[in-house]
Structure 1
Amino acid sequence: MMNRTRLVNTFIELVKIDSETGHERQIADHLIELFRNLGLTVVEDDTQKETGFGAGNLFITLDGDATRKPLLLSCHMDTVTPGKGIEPIITDDIIHTDGTTILGADDKAGIATIIEAIQTIKEQNIEHGPIQIVITVGEESSLVGSSALDGKMLVNGLGYALDAGGKVGVIVNQAPTNATIEVTIKGTTAHAGIEPEKGVSAINIASRAINNMKLGRIDDETTANIGRIEGGEKTNIVADKCYILAEARSLSEEKMNAQVNHMKEAILTAAAELGGSADINVTVNYPSFKVDENSKVVQIAKQSALNIGRTPDVIPTGGGSDANFINGYGVPTVVLAVGYEKIHTVNECMPIIEMEKLTEQVIEIIKLV
C-alpha cells in the first residue's frame, strides 16, 4: 500500500537538511510546511524561549473518528554531530554516507515513516481516530525538548515513539532514569619538584575516588560511567583543581539514587583523606518508565508487528528517549525499533526494508487504535 520510492526520497530530503542538536530551525520550518501541505494542523510551542534551542517542539494534528482512542506518534528532529552537509548514498538497498558524517536516520527515518504512513492512509481512505504527531528538538541533548514541553498539549491516548535500535518488531516498554554528576575537586597547589609536600593534588584525589567506585555494569538494571576527567596545567605544578563528569542510570530510581550516593561518598571520602575538598552537583535528566506488557499500548504494538510478518520482542533498554517524559506526562508510550544501525557514528546506515516495515507497522497501529 505504501510508496517505497516516495518514502526513500522523503528520507533523503530530510537527512540533507542540517539539524544538529540545538540548530533545528531549518528542519522545523521544512516540517511545518510539509505537514501543512498534507492538510494537517501544525503548532510550534514556545519552549525555544526556555531551551535556547533552534526551534520549539512541533504538535501536528490529523482529525479522525472522535469515538476512537487518540493516537500519539513521536520522533525527534535533531541529530548528533558530525551532521552537517550529509550526502546519503544508496548501496544494495542500504542508505549510508561517505563516512565523514553521520546519516541522521536517528531519528529522521522515524519522521519519514510517519510522513509516508499519513500520506498512505489519506490516499487509501483508511479509517482512523485522531492522530497527534509530536516532533521534538534537543532529544540528543538529554531530552531537552520533551522535558520542556507542556504535557497538557498531549492527547489522552496511546503513544508510540519511533526511536529505538534493533529490527522493526522490537518494542521497548521500559527505560532508565539518568543522572549527571559534575564534580570539581579542590586541592592545594605547590611546586612539584621543590616542595611537593606542601601540595594536595586534586588529580590524586580524583584517582583515589574513581578507584574506589563501582562502575560499569552494577547489576542488570543499573550502570555508571566516568565520561570525562581533566585537571592540571604542567608537570612541575601540583594540580589544585580537577573536574569529573560522570553519570549513573537505572531502571530503578531507588538503585540510581543509591549509585549516585555511592559515587558521591567515594569522592568526599578521598578528598577528606588527602586534605582536599569537592563540590558535587547532581542533575536528574529524565525519569524512568515501565509500561505493563499486558497493557493495550503494548498489545497493539505486538499485533501490528505480527500483521507485517515480524516477531514482536518486548524488551527494556538502557537508553532514554522522549518516551521517558511522555510517559511521565500521563500518556502510556512504548518505543518502536526503527531498524537503523551504528547510530551516532559515521558508519550509521539505514536498510530500506526496515523503513518500509516500520511504515507498514505504523499503518497497522493506526488501524488498530
Structure 2
Amino acid sequence: MVNSKRLVDTFIELVQIDSETKHEGNFQAFLKTRFQTLGLEVKEDDTMSKTGFGANNLVCRLPATTDADAIFFSCHVDTVTPGVGIKPQVKDDIIYSDGTTILAADDKAGIAIMLETIQLINENNTPHGTLEFVLSVGEESGLIGIKAFDMSALTANYGFVLDTGGPVGSITVGSPTHAGLEIEILGTAAHSGIEPEKGISALEIAAKAISQMKLGRIDVETTANIGIIEGGTATNIVMEHVRMVAEVRSINSESCEAQIQHMKGLFEKTTAEMGGAITIKVDMKYGGYHFDAETNVVKIATKAMAELGMTANHETSGGGSDANIFNEQGKETTNLSIGYEKIHTVHEYIPIRELEKATALAYEIVKQVASD
C-alpha cells in the first residue's frame, strides 16, 4: 500500500532543505506549500516573536469525512548541527548522510511519513475524522516551539508524536519530569600564596556539598547530574565564585521534587557552614507522563500494530519530546518509534523498510480511529 519510491524520494527531498534549530524559516515555508498542495488547510501561529526562532509553528488540517474522533500527528522541523548541506546516500536499502553531516531523519522521517500518509488517504478515499498535523520549531533547543504553541488551535484532544528512534513498534508510555538547576556559590577571594586563610573557596564549598550528594541513578525512575562547573580567574587567587548547572529527571514528579530539595539542601547547608553565599534557580523544563496499556493512545497504537503483524513494545524514556508538552497541556499524546538510528551524529541512518513500516502504522492508526 505504501508507495516506497515516493516515500523515499520525499524524505530525500526534505533532508536536503537546511533547517538547523533557529533557522527553520525556508523549510517551514516549503512545508506550508506542500501541505496546501495536498489539500490541507494550513494555519501558522505567531510565536516567532516569543521564541526568537526562524519560523512559526504550523497546524495543517485535513477535514473529516466521517464523525470519527479528531486526532493529530506531530513532528518538529528543526535539526541539530551539523545539518547544512546534507547529502543523503542510499546503500543496501539504508539511507545515510555522506558522513560530514547528520542525516536529519530526526525528525524529517516523521514529516515524510505524514506526507505519505496523507497521500494514501487521498488516493484510497480512506474515511477519517479531522486529521491535524502539527509542525513545531525549536524542539532541539528545549521544546521551545511547542511550549509557545496555543493548544486551543487543535480540534483533536489526543494524538501521536512521530519522533522516537529504534525499530518501529515502540510506544513511549512514560517520560520524565525534567528540572534544571543553576547554582552560584560566592566565597571570598584572597591571595592563595600569601594569605589563603583569609579566603573562602567557593570550589571547596561545592566539593564538600557534592561529596555528600546522591547523583547519577537515584532509583529506577530518577536520575540527577551536575553537567557544568565553572569558575576561578587565576591559580594564585582563592576561588571566589563557582557556577554549576545540573538537572533532575524522574518519571515520578514527587521523586523529582525530593531530589531537587536534597541537592538544594546540601548546597545551602554547606555554604552556610563555610561562610559563603549561594543562589539557586530551579527551572521546570517540562512535566512527565505515565501511561498504562489501557490509555487510549496506547490502545490505539497497539491495536494498529497488531493489525500489521507487529508486536508493540511499551517503553519508558529517560528523555523528553514535544509529547511531554502536549500531555502537560491536556492533550493525551504518545511518541512512536519511526526507525531512525544514531541520531545527532554524522553516522545517523534509517532503513527504508522501517520508514515504510512507520508510514503503514500511521495510516493504520487513522483507519483504526475511523472504524471505532
TM-score category of the 2 structures, normalised to the smaller one = over 0.9
In 2, distance between residues paired with 1:42 and 1:173? 30
- Note the alpha carbon deviations across 1:282-307, whole angstroms, 9 max, x for none: 00011111233213321110111122
User: Which residue of 1 is the match for residue 125 of structure 2?
Assistant: 125
- In the other structure, the counterpart of 2:137 is 137
> Equivalents in 2 of 1:100, 1:208: separation in Å?
43
User: For residue 76 of structure 1, what is the aligned residue in structure 2?
Assistant: 76
Shift of 1:166: 2.2
TM-score (structure 2 length as normaliser) = 0.96
- Is the contact between residue 142 and residue 286 of structure 1 (CA under 8 Å) also seen in structure 2? no
CA contact (8 A) 1:180 1:246 kept: yes
Q: Is the 8 A contact 1:23 1:53 kept in 2?
A: yes
Which residue matches 2:102?
A: 102
How far apart are residue 66 of structure 1 and its match? 4.4
* Equivalent residue, structure 2, for 1:228: 228
Are 1:52 and 2:55 matched, yes or no? no
Secondary structure in structure 2 of the residue aligned to 1:346: coil
Name the CA shift for 1:99/1:226 in 2 (closer, same or farther; >3 Å). Answer: farther
Q: Is the 8 A contact 1:182 1:280 kept in 2?
A: yes
Indicate whether 1:24 and 2:24 are aligned: yes
Distance 1:100 1:212, change over 3 A: farther
1:179 touches 1:247 (CA, 8 Å); kept in 2? yes
Q: Which residue number in structure 1 is paired with residue 309 of structure 2?
A: 309
Partner in structure 1 of residue 244 of structure 2: 244
SS at match of 1:140: helix
Instruction: State how far apart, in whole Å, the 2-side matches of 1:246 and 1:84 are.
Output: 31
- Which amino acid is 1:258 matched to? A
Aligned to 2:33: 33
What residue is the counterpart of 1:365 in the other structure? Answer: 365
- 1:167 Cα offset (Å): 1.2
Tell me how far 1:157 sits from its aligned partner.
3.6
Write the letter of the residue equivalent to 2:45: D
Determine the C-alpha separation between the residues in 2 that align with 1:210 and 1:85.
43
Quick check: 1:321 aligned with 2:321? yes
Q: Report the counterpart of residue 164 of structure 1 in structure 2.
A: 164
Which residue of the partner structure matches residue 332 of structure 2?
Answer: 332
CA distance change for structure 1 residues 305 and 181 in 2, over 3 Å: closer, same or farther?
A: same
Out of 267-276 and 59-68, give the one that drifted further: 267-276
For 1:341, give the aligned amino acid. E
Q: Partner residue of 1:64?
A: 64
User: What is the DSSP-based 3-state SS (H/G/I as helix, E as strand, rest coil) of the residue aligned with 1:159?
Assistant: strand
The code of the aligned residue for 1:124 comes to N
Counterpart contact for 2:66–2:127, Cα < 8 Å: no
User: Structure 1 residue 329: deviation in Å?
Assistant: 2.4
Aligned partner of residue 54 in structure 1, secondary structure: coil
1:130 partner amino acid? T
Deviation, 1:278, is 1.3
Deviation at 1:269, TM superposition (A): 2.1
The answer for the alignment partner of 1:341 in structure 2 is 341
Which consecutive unaligned segments of at least 5 residues does structure 2 have?
A: none
| Superimposed CA distance per residue, residues 75-122 of structure 1 (whole angstroms, 9 cap, x where no aligned partner) | 111112222222222222222223332221111111111111111111
Paired residue for 1:7? 7
Q: Using the alignment, how far apart are the partners of 1:96 and 1:156 within structure 2?
A: 35
Letter in 2 for 1:212: Q
Give distance in 2, aligned partners of 1:316 and 1:97. Answer: 29
- Is contact 1:15–1:105 with CA below 8 Å preserved after alignment? yes
Distance in 2 between residues matched to 1:59 and 1:79, nearest whole Å: 19
Contact kept in structure 2, 1:291 and 1:332, CA below 8 Å: no
8 Å Cα contact 1:291-1:333 kept in structure 2: no
Where has structure 1 moved over 4 Å in runs of 4 or more?
A: none
- Output the CA distance in 2 between the equivalents of 1:182 and 1:83: 30
* Residue of structure 2 equivalent to 1:183: 183
* Seq. identity, %: 52
For residues 81 and 210 of structure 1, do their structure 2 counterparts lie closer, same or farther at Cα, with a shift above 3 Å needed? farther
Deviates more, 1:206-215 or 1:223-232: 206-215
